């Protein structure tokens, strides 16, 4: 027997329809790439998204065509997204922080036909376009006045192009499992892999992300997604915000402390989200100026582990609730969030910060387990670590073109490549990427735990821990530190600071100070590059030279 409820396919344009109908006057504010702050509304944004859809169809695009974007978070980028999805074409967000050759590789792999690009990245596109034969058209997200000279034959100013459509258009209808978007994972090893979102997965993810114990956003919120749309759908906020009718504030290309502070303050932002490096810049700005955050209620921190000192500052000094979140491009991207179940609701002080160090628990729609090397589920005891596996309606079941098939098993579990443990209340804590974990004397040492501890020292701006070859223990931890301006903390000072806070055999064998730690395009520490850089590093107590010990 079948239910007798209506078929109402979960299509992304229904989100913007809803926002326009119920929250039509709500503002979408952007720091434009041209400079000034510009304002529009959900009603106007929907109208322009319809124009985009109509104009794209007129140019010959339709179901399944990949339409790339290389752009910051702005209202124009958002309307281009919804317009693209509204004809069943597939938005493909490109990360401008990748190398030009990587971008060309990704565009060729996805066979992008059209590209929306911000003025900032036009020189980059001029360089790579000749290497992407599928690319027919480049639409520059600006008006005729600001349109620069370009060597691209097929480039047009967005406002001119859009002005040729009147918006008298009906969204196209298709099945909810139709592809809506694409995003390639950064691919720190091997080639990047394409994740393909569906309309159904995007809509479900937006609902899941908005739930009270997930991000917990509402029409009364003012949301500033600092996390870019090219970084896994702005963690779902590009869809959750219109779905709940929240005012949106889009930061454009400026993510430095003063620029973010300006928006937080002038637009009275209540909710924001970004990677730790962005919050380091903001906190530094607040410290230097003595400014406070009177409007901000919640900050979501994820993409890499939120240092304890950062959570402490936001919560204790500025009165902002920290939600530590974990996810992946493959998960649309939210996997878990550290909001408090009643079991942990009464915690305060250090005990509360201990829980905030964990990446939280999955919302409805994400199943999670930790397994050993034989694929046996491990106990939820908060200490037994293993490989973290997930499944759910907004989790990938394959990569585009069939790459990485070994990460998906027959029961639908996706192997995240992360190492984690889960506690008795379901809270998960990432201890490492499987490829970064340090194997010392047959036991595992979590590099993330050590990094978090090290950045708690007042002289440390950033820290990374890697395994260095050791003749007796296979690998031992090396702590790499970027000191705060003017500070030169010694090895002894740092190690004695860490002593007693972790098992003795976890303590790094050595410390080096550097000016800079390399980061990936999504803001993560490039451990591979560091391992390469310190391959020959000689640990103080390693009596045999490491390379010799490996038989090299």
Q: Which residues bind ligand ADP (CB under 6 A)?
A: 185-186, 231-232, 302-305, 324-329, 333, 359, 416-418, 430, 433, 522
- Name every residue whose Cβ is closer than 8 Å to that of residue 115 and which is 6 or more positions away in sequence: 67, 68, 69, 70, 107, 125, 135, 137, 138, 139
**In the complex, least distance from residue 330 CB atom to ligand ADP, rounded to whole angstroms:** 6
**In the complex, least distance from residue 523 CB atom to ligand ADP, rounded to whole angstroms:** 8
CA dist 469 and 456 (Å) reads: 26
CA dist 178 and 176 (Å) reads: 5
Q: Which is nearer to ligand ADP, 334 or 498 (CB)?
A: 334
Beta bridge partners of 224: 272
**In the complex, least distance from residue 206 CB atom to ligand ADP, rounded to whole angstroms:** 16
Q: Which is nearer to ligand ADP, 14 or 519 (CB)?
A: 519
Residue of 14, 120, 380, 444 with catalytic role: 444
Residue of 341, 439, 472, 501 with catalytic role: 439
**In the complex, least distance from residue 335 CB atom to ligand ADP, rounded to whole angstroms:** 8
Residue of 69, 84, 178, 185 with catalytic role: 185
Beta bridge partners of 371: 377, 387
CA dist 46 and 82 (Å) reads: 8
Q: Which is nearer to ligand ADP, 30 or 95 (CB)?
A: 95
Q: Is 185 a catalytic residue?
A: yes
Residue position matching structure tokens 């992946």: 328
Q: Is 439 a catalytic residue?
A: yes
| Alpha-helical runs (H) found in 213-331 | 237-244, 257-266, 276-289, 308-312
**In the complex, least distance from residue 501 CB atom to ligand ADP, rounded to whole angstroms:** 19
Q: Which is nearer to ligand ADP, 19 or 322 (CB)?
A: 322
**In the complex, least distance from residue 417 CB atom to ligand ADP, rounded to whole angstroms:** 6
CA-wise closest residue to 114 among 167, 44, 52 = 52
CA dist 12 and 239 (Å) reads: 8
Residue of 79, 159, 176, 330 with catalytic role: 330
Q: Which is nearer to ligand ADP, 13 or 205 (CB)?
A: 205
Q: Is 113 exposed, middle or buried (0-12, 13-18, 19+ CB in 10 A)?
A: buried
Q: Which is nearer to ligand ADP, 93 or 270 (CB)?
A: 93
Query: Torsion angle of alpha carbons 448, 451, 456, 460, nearest 10°?
Result: -150
Chain center to CA of 463? 20
Which residues form the catalytic set? 185, 330, 439, 444
């Amino acid at each position: 027997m079948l239910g007798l409820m209506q078929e109402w396919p979960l299509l992304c344009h229904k989100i913007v329809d809803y926002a326009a109908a119920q929250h039509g006057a709500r503002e979408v504010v952007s720091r434009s790439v041209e400079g000034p702050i510009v304002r529009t509304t959900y009603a106007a944004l929907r109208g322009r998204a319809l124009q985009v859809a109509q104009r794209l169809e007129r140019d010959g695009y339709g179901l399944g065509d990949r339409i790339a974007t290389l752009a910051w978070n702005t209202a124009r980028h958002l309307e281009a997204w919804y317009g693209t999805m509204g004809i069943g074409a597939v938005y493909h967000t490109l990360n401008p922080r990748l190398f030009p050759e990587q971008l060309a590789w990704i565009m060729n792999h996805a066979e992008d036909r059209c590209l929306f690009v911000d003025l900032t990245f036009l020189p980059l596109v001029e360089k790579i376009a000749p290497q992407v034969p599928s690319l027919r058209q480049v639409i520059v997200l600006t008006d005729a006045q600001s349109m620069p000279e370009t060597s691209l034959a097929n480039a047009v100013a967005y406002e001119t192009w859009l002005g040729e459509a009147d918006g008298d258009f009906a969204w196209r209808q298709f099945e909810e499992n139709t592809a809506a978007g694409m995003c390639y994972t950064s691919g720190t090893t091997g080639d990047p892999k394409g994740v393909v979102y569906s309309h159904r997965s995007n809509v479900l993810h937006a609902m899941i992300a908005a739930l009270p114990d997930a991000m917990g956003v509402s029409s009364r919120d003012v949301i500033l997604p600092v996390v870019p749309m090219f970084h896994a759908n702005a963690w779902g906020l590009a869809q959750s915000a219109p779905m709940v009718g929240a005012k949106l504030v889009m930061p454009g290309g400026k993510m430095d402390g003063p620029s973010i502070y300006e928006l937080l303050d002038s637009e009275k932002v209540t909710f924001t989200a970004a990677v730790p490096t962005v919050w380091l810049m903001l906190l530094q700005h607040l410290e230097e100026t003595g400014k406070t955050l009177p409007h901000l209620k919640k900050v979501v921190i994820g993409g890499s582990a939120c240092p304890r000192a950062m959570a402490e500052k936001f919560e204790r000094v500025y009165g902002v609730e920290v939600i530590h979140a974990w996810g992946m491009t493959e998960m649309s991207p939210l996997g878990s969030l550290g909001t408090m179940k009643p079991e942990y609701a009464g915690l305060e002080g250090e005990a509360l910060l201990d829980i905030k160090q964990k990446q939280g628990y999955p919302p409805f729609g994400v199943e999670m387990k930790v397994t050993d090397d034989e694929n046996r589920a491990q106990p939820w005891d908060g200490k037994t670590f293993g490989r973290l596996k997930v499944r759910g309606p907004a989790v990938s079941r394959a990569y585009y073109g069939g790459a990485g098939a070994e990460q998906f098993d027959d029961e639908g579990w996706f192997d995240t490549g992360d190492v984690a443990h889960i506690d008795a209340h379901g809270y998960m804590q990432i201890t490492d990427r499987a490829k970064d974990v340090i194997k010392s004397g047959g036991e595992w040492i979590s590099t993330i735990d050590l990094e978090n501890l090290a950045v708690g020292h007042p002289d440390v701006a950033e820290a990374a821990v890697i395994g260095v070859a050791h003749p007796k223990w296979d690998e031992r931890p090396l702590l790499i530190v970027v000191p705060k301006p003017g500070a030169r903390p010694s090895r002894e000072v740092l190690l004695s600071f860490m002593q007693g806070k972790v098992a003795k055999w976890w303590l790094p064998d050595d410390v080096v100070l550097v000016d800079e730690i390399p980061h990936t395009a999504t803001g993560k520490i490039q451990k591979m590059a560091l391992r390469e850089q310190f391959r020959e590093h000689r640990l103080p107590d390693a009596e045999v030279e490491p390379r010799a010990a490996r038989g090299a």
